Structure 1
Amino acid sequence: MKILIVEDDPLYAAQLEWLVGSLSYEIAGTCTNAFDAINLFHRKSPDLLLLDIHIIGEIDGIQLASHINKIRKTPVIFITSLSDDETFNRVQQIGPAGFIIKPFNPLQLQRVIELTVAKLGELNQNHSFQDNDLILSDCFFIKVREKLVKIVLTEIFYIEADDRYSIIHTISGHKYIIRIPLGELEEKLPSSAFIRTHRSYIIQSKYIQSVNVQDETIQLNQINIPMSKTYREKILDKIKRL
């Protein structure tokens, strides 16, 4: 779980860094303005944002959150000294995970962070694939023991079915088992990148090295994935268009 901190007050920034570290989460970066925050967001892909509203520059924290959500929906916790109605009404339009007034109680903020992380974990545990839930535009989260592990879609090598479970194989060699049927998972993956080759397999098309029509297999690196007749024509048609 990576957390990006945007805070222009050095004392509060240090306090937030200490709190995030004490919770054993990774700090994706700390900055004081929207420009640096957007750069860090692209480079580090944080899972949660701690944002001050009154930050350095023309773009405030609320505008920054709105811009980031257009890139990728990401939970936001606002931490601010501004408590007027106008500010709160603007914040409501963002739909943040939390709104904390300075000076804040560290335990209060800790609880809000923990509730936000727990909500992400609950989505994974329940496997509720709503449009705004588990799968985001470029990644999704897997609960592994007490941690949430982010799976970037471009790093998925192939996926195989195991009864009502799916086993995700990444290009780095890791395997993750999730309690989601392969067909349900297929519906939420971008069809431009993933191909169903068999009732038990989905592959990422960019890793295809060769297709053996006679043996009905697709080679991904040193692994041969079966290709059933049901999906063969669709696969060959897609490969022609790659």
Structure 2
Amino acid sequence: MKILIVEDEANYADTLEMFVEELGYETVGVASQGKLAMSLFDEHNPDLVLMDINLEGELSGIDLARIFQGQRPTPIIFITSFDDKETFSKAKQTGPYAYLIKPFEPARLQRSIELALQHAYADGDQVFDNQEEVLLATSCFFVKDRNKLIKIRLEEILWVEVEDKYCMIHTKDRKFTLRQSLKDLAKKLDASIFVQTHRSYIVNASEIEDIDLSLFVVRINGTEVPLGRAHKDEFIKRLQML
């Protein structure tokens, strides 16, 4: 998960960056004033922003939060020394996911980040249990793995297969196990990119290397995925042919 830090106190910014890295997240930038913060926000599209309220320059953290939310709704956690009612009331109008008063423990920051991500991207009907569950965002999935939410961009998915009551999402780097039916997962995939090749397989068409029509297999990243006879004709029709 990509996190933008907006903090004008150098020592505290370093501490926040260290906390974020220790928690296993990625810092895409540290800004001490509004102009740089807006540039980093536009360039990196962070998943979450840790925002100080009192910043260098004309823009406050509250001003930035309004600008960011106007461009793209993004979870924001305010981190500030101000604990007065007036500042809190103004900050609350921007819809932050947490309001932390300095100093605070790393564990509290971790909980705030995880809750912010869950509330921002989770399907309201989803209920976590001891198994991994998929969370839908607009262009990616968040898969719960123990105490972390791992982001999978849709274009990173090579293929999906069914095994018993589980769906296996395959990427180039690893495999994710979801307790979800293939039919339910297919509803959350872009039908212009993903196609069913077999009753138990869905593939990313842009990642297909070749198709062996005699052996009824589709090769993706060096792996052969079955091409069912019942799906072959419809699958071929949807390919751009020369």
TM-score w.r.t. length of structure 2? 0.75
SS at match of 2:158: strand
User: 4+ runs of 1 displaced by more than 6 Å?
Assistant: none
User: Is the CA contact 1:7–1:13 (under 8 Å) kept in the aligned structure 2?
Assistant: yes
Q: Distance in 1 between matches of 2:23 and 2:168?
A: 30
Q: 1:159: which partner in 2?
A: 160
In structure 1, the partner of 2:219 is 219
Indicate the SS of the match to 2:239. helix
Alpha-carbon distance in structure 2 between the residues aligned to 1:137 and 1:77 = 21
Q: What is the match of residue 141 of structure 2?
A: 140
Alpha carbons 1:211, 1:217 under 8 Å: kept? yes
Instruction: Tell me whether 1:113 sits opposite 2:110 in the alignment.
Output: yes
SS of 1:4's equivalent in the other structure is: strand
2-structure distance, mates of 1:89, 1:21: 31
Structure 1: which 5+ runs fail to align? none
Alignment CA distance shift 1:230-1:42 (3 Å): farther
Amino acid at match of 1:137: T
* C-alpha spacing 1:234/1:90, structure 2 compared with 1 (3 Å): farther
Name the aligned partner's letter for residue 76 of structure 2.
V
Letter paired with 1:49: V
Structure 1 residues 119 and 5, CA gap change in structure 2 (3 angstroms): closer
SS at match of 2:136: coil
Q: Which residue of 2 aligns with 1:150?
A: 151
SS of 2:176's equivalent? Answer: strand
Which structure 2 residues correspond to residues 73-84 of structure 1 after superposition, within 5 A? 73-80=73-80, 81=82, 83=84
- Quick one: which amino acid aligns to residue 103 of structure 2? N
Q: How many residues align?
A: 233
SS in structure 2 opposite 1:106? coil
Identity %: 36
User: How far 1:28 sits from its partner (Å)?
Assistant: 3.3
Q: CA RMSD in A?
A: 3.5
Q: Is 1:160–1:167's contact at 8 Å kept on the other side of the alignment?
A: yes
Q: TM-score, with normalisation over the residues of structure 1? A: 0.75
